[in-house]
Amino acid sequence: MENTPIQGPVFLIEVDKISPNPQQPRRDFNKEELSELAASIREFGLLQPIVVTKLEKESETGTEIAYQLVAGERRWRAAQMLGLERIPAIIRNVDLERERLELAVLENVQRANLNPIESARAYARLQDEFKLTQREIAARIGKSREVIANTMRLLGLPTEVQEAISRGEISESQGRLLLTVDDQIQQKMLFSDLLRSNLSVRELRNRIQALKISKTTQDIAPPTASVVDAETSALQKELESALGAKVRVEKSGETGKLIISFYSPEELRGIVERLARRDDNLPPSPPLAF
Banded model confidence at residue 111, pLDDT cuts 50, 70, 90: low
- Beta strands at 10-14 and 86-91: parallel, antiparallel or unpaired: antiparallel
Output the CA torsion sign for 83, 84, 85, 90: negative
Catalytic residue among 33, 73, 85, 172: 73
- E-only strand ranges, the chain: 10-14, 18-19, 50-59, 62-71, 86-91, 247-252, 255-260
Q: What is the pLDDT of residues 78-87, one digit of tens each?
A: 999 999 999 9
Sign of CA dihedral 37, 43, 46, 48: negative
pLDDT at residue 128 in the model: 81
Ordered by where they begin, the domains of the chain are: 1-113 (3.90.1530.10), 157-278 (no CATH)
Query: Comparing C-alpha atoms, which of 140, 146, 69 is closest to residue 106?
Result: 140
Looking at mean pLDDT, say which of 80-89, 207-216, 223-232, 240-249 comes out highest.
Answer: 80-89
Mean pLDDT of the chain: 79
Residue 45 has pLDDT above 70, yes or no: yes
Over residues 259-288, the pLDDT tens digits come to: 887 766 667 777 887 777 655 554 554 444
What confidence score (pLDDT) does residue 167 get?
A: 92
The highest-confidence range among 126-140, 216-230, 255-269, by mean pLDDT, is: 126-140
Total residue length of the chain: 290
DSSP at 180? T
Annotation says 73 is catalytic: yes
